[in-house]
A and B are shown apart, each in its own frame.
Chain A
């Protein structure tokens, strides 16, 4: 299994509070991704990174920011959590060689009350 951990694994927070989720990898892969998974929507890309300090937006980036100061860590921040951000968040990693295949972390279940 790819060495990917996410923390916390579960979190309950209140509307309006900032929240940071962490993804940590031990594979030295270049690319890292944050997705959210909601019933009926599959997985949707929030942000991704193609190197240290290099990030770009995905299809549902509003209300989220990311940072990557080290190859192994990719942080997702909800600047002011809303109930619509209640979801399961997955981190993934990939590398160009051989196939860009993405490997997923265990997920973080976030509930915003």
Chain B
């Protein structure tokens, strides 16, 4: 059974600081997705990582994938308040069209 764990589940940061969210998964997979959810809203796709060593960057967010370690990271650089949201990683079930989601990391960026 595929399990996806995110750490930390809650993260309170100061503006301009850097931090990393971790996503570990338990079985082999070649595709990993990161989503953002604002309170009361739907999920917005951030990154799609399709192979070992994949790195994607958008603004202050950078995501990477290490399939051998079964680990993805979402790195936040010089955080700003607008990044406050819940971030989810999701992993496909080995070539399947189904995803398993982590429980999410609630990020709060304080002035």
A residues adjacent to B (C-beta < 8 A): 31, 33, 40-45, 48, 50, 58, 90, 94, 96, 99-107
A105, B33: Cβ atoms closer than 8 Å: no
* Residues of B contacting A99 in the complex (Cβ-Cβ under 8 angstroms): 31, 48, 50
Option from B42, B45, B98, B102 in Cβ contact (under 8 Å) with A42: B102
Interface of B is mostly: strand
Q: Chain A: which residue is nearest B96 at the CB level?
A: A100
4 more A-B contacts (CB under 8 A) besides A45-B98, A58-B98, A90-B42?
A31-B97, A40-B103, A101-B48, A102-B90
When A and B form their complex, what is the total count of cross-chain residue pairs whose Cβ atoms lie within 8 Å?
48
B42, A105: Cβ atoms closer than 8 Å: yes
* Residues of B contacting A45 in the complex (Cβ-Cβ under 8 angstroms): 98-100
- What is the CA–CA distance of A44 and B45 in the complex, to the nearest angstrom? 17
| A-B CB contact pairs (8 Å), 22 listed | A31-B97, A40-B103, A43-B43, A43-B88, A45-B98, A45-B99, A48-B98, A90-B42, A90-B43, A96-B97, A99-B31, A99-B48, A99-B50, A100-B31, A100-B92, A102-B33, A103-B45, A104-B43, A106-B41, A106-B42, A107-B41, A107-B42
